[in-house]
Amino acid sequence: MKKAKIIGLGSYLPKKVLTNADFEKMIDTSDEWITSRTGIKERRIAADDEFTSDMGYEAAKKAIEDAKLKAEDIDIIFVATLTPDYIFPSTACLIQEKLEAKNAAALDIQAACSGYVYALSLAKALVENNTYKNILIIASEKLSSIINYKDRSTSVLFGDAAAAAVVSQDGSGLEIQSIYLGASGSEADLLILPAGGCKNPASEKTLKEGLHYIKMGGKEVFKHAVRRMQQAIEKCLKETNLSEKDISWLIPHQANERIIDAIAKRFEHLDNEKVYKEVVRKFGNTSASSVGLALDFLKKENKLKSKEKILLTVFGAGFTWGAAILENN
Ligand code: ACO
């Protein structure tokens, strides 16, 4: 059996930049606080008339082109997002229409910030068992639409962006060697958008109480993120009989530089430049898009050598988490 590979990558960033200096004018915060607690310097904000489907479409076009395919070659589209254009229809259907991917089925995946790796896992299985030939995965987030810009504990953390990948058996690219996924619903309340679903439909009360904004227990989420990503890495390495030393590049979920540093501790052999942090510094936490952006940048920087292994690890609301090992072929 030929292993599934990522044969095309793409990403999209909105134009508007929101810097820490901009936040200093909006709320009681400082560049020093944000940088020392998170590593974030800037983030991108989508235009008022620019939505998750628009950003996802732009990233997808680039990934399909990079894979040297046409939209009609795509068999199914997965969109990982926690900020869909609508609850229904799916954002995947909206992007399928924009792409004119006439032969593609389409569905959304809700695994919060872990969505890219969850989508990759499904794509790997469906390609390797010959159900589909070419699968387009897209992660796209307009997090600015669910942020309370008066809440300093969450507003400084998040940004908007999209990333995409084409997974196939044919062609050369990043072979998906192993993926591990995990979840635990018992901490669901620690990171949640309380209103807008059937439990708390939009009402005067939900609006008044700001329940359509992200709520997060930052300190607890921090601890769970470190622990779960560490566990995911362990499982993924074990499954492939690899050790930390076999890994050439580490891409943890780009949520917070301190979380990344805590995870990188066990990869003592890796130089700092091989632990990816650029995305969180420049674009903040872009949820499902974050590791996809990092992967696209890393590939296009042309620093990857043949046979080098990349380890992705993710964590998000749910809680969900995961890790993937890719080999550059
Ligand atoms: N500017 C200045 N002060 C602030 C700000 C801000 N933007 N935000 C909070 N503070 C204050 C708090 O009010 C608190 O003040 P107090 O002591 O007077 O009450 C103080 O700073 C310390 O707050 P803590 O919550 O203890 O700060 P902490 O060191 O935990 O850092 C942070 C907060 C950055 C949110 C951290 O907890 C974190 O990164 N958590 C993980 C968040 C995360 O990554 N979530 C996403 C993962 S999953 C996903 O991506 C969806």
Distance CA 130, CA 203 (A): 46
Q: Where are the beta strands (DSSP E) in 25-173?
A: 42-45, 76-80, 105-109, 134-141, 161-168
Q: What pLDDT, on a 0 to 100 scale, did the predictor assign at position 1?
A: 79
pLDDT on residue 277: 95
pLDDT of the residue at 2: 84
Which amino acid does the sequence have at 318? G
* 178-193 per-residue burial string, b: 16 or more CB within 10 A, e: under 16: bbbbbeeeebeebbbb
Can 236 be counted among the known catalytic residues? no
CB-count exposure of residue 296 (10 Å: 0-12, 13-18, 19+): buried
Pocket of ligand 1 (CB under 6 A): 29, 33-34, 37-38, 112-113, 152-153, 156, 191, 216, 218-219, 221-222, 225, 255-256, 259, 285, 287, 315-317
Among 114, 219, 257, 280, which residue has the most ligand 1 atoms within 8 Å of its CB, making it the best to mutate? 219
Domains of the chain: 5-172 (3.40.47.10), 177-328 (3.40.47.10)
User: Which residues of the chain fall short of a pLDDT of 50?
Assistant: none
> Long-range contacts of range 24-27, CB-CB < 8 Å, 24 or more positions apart?
26/149, 27/149, 27/150, 27/152, 27/155, 27/156
Mean pLDDT of the chain: 97
CA 294 vs CA 16, 135, 201: distances in Å: 19, 20, 35
Q: In this structure, are strands 42-45 and 16-19 parallel, antiparallel, or unpaired? A: antiparallel
Name the residue of 33, 110, 222 whose CB sits within 8 Å of the most ligand 1 atoms, as the mutation to test its pocket.
Answer: 222
269 is catalytic: no
pLDDT digits (tens, 9 = 90+) for 57-67: 999 999 999 99
Q: What is the pTM of this model?
A: 0.96
CA pseudo-torsion sign 323, 84, 297, 294: negative
Cα of 44 to ligand 1 centre, how many Å? 20
pLDDT of residue 31: 98
**Is there a contact between 193 and 216 (Cβ–Cβ < 8 Å)?**
no
What residue owns the CA closest to ligand 1's atom 20?
153
Q: Are 146 and 287 in contact (CB under 8 A)?
A: no
Of 232, 226, 1, nearest to 130 by C-alpha is 1
Q: Pick the residue whose CA is nearest to atom 11 on ligand 1.
A: 153
Residue 113 among the catalytic residues: yes
What separation in Å is there between the alpha carbon of 58 and the centre of ligand 1? 32
